[in-house]
Amino acid sequence: MFRAEWVAAVSMDACNGCRLCMRQCQYGAIRYSSNNKKVSIDPTACYGCGVCRASCNKNAITLSPRELVTGAAGVW
Ligand code: SF4
Ligand code: SF4
């Protein structure tokens, strides 16, 4: 399995903490924080498959070009 040229990120303003996206990520890249009751995505673990974005009813997840994301650029 190769990583895609994209990396996912979560908008803290839009996320309601429902965790639907977490259940869809096969790579364990999405973490839930009980402190702020929202999720975040580890860019170094994300494969850029986009499944999480499709599962989010709040449109809180965006995909950005891997080369522009700190920590993920050059990670294939
Ligand atoms: S599915 Fe969307 S709203 Fe729900 S936890 Fe994930 S990013 Fe947040
Ligand atoms: S894009 Fe794919 S690998 Fe990255 S966080 Fe979303 S579901 Fe996980």
- Tell me the pLDDT tens digit for each residue of 44-71: 999 999 999 999 999 999 999 999 999 8
| Ligand 2 mean position, distance from CA 35 (Å) | 22
Residue 62 placed within a domain: yes
pLDDT exceeds cutoff 80 at 1: no
The count of domains in the chain is 1
Residue 76 placed within a domain: no
Residue 19 placed within a domain: yes
**The predicted structure's pLDDT at residue 9:** 97
**DSSP-assigned letters across all residues of the chain:** -PPPSEEEEE-TTT-----HHHHH-TT--EEEETTTTEEEE-TTT-----HHHHH-TT--EEEEEGGGSTTTTT--
Instruction: Say yes or no: CB of residue 18 within 6 Å of ligand 1.
Output: yes
Tell me the residue range of the domain where 47 lies: 6-68
What percent of the chain has pLDDT above 70?
100
| Ligand 2 mean position, distance from CA 27 (Å) | 7
pLDDT exceeds cutoff 80 at 4: yes
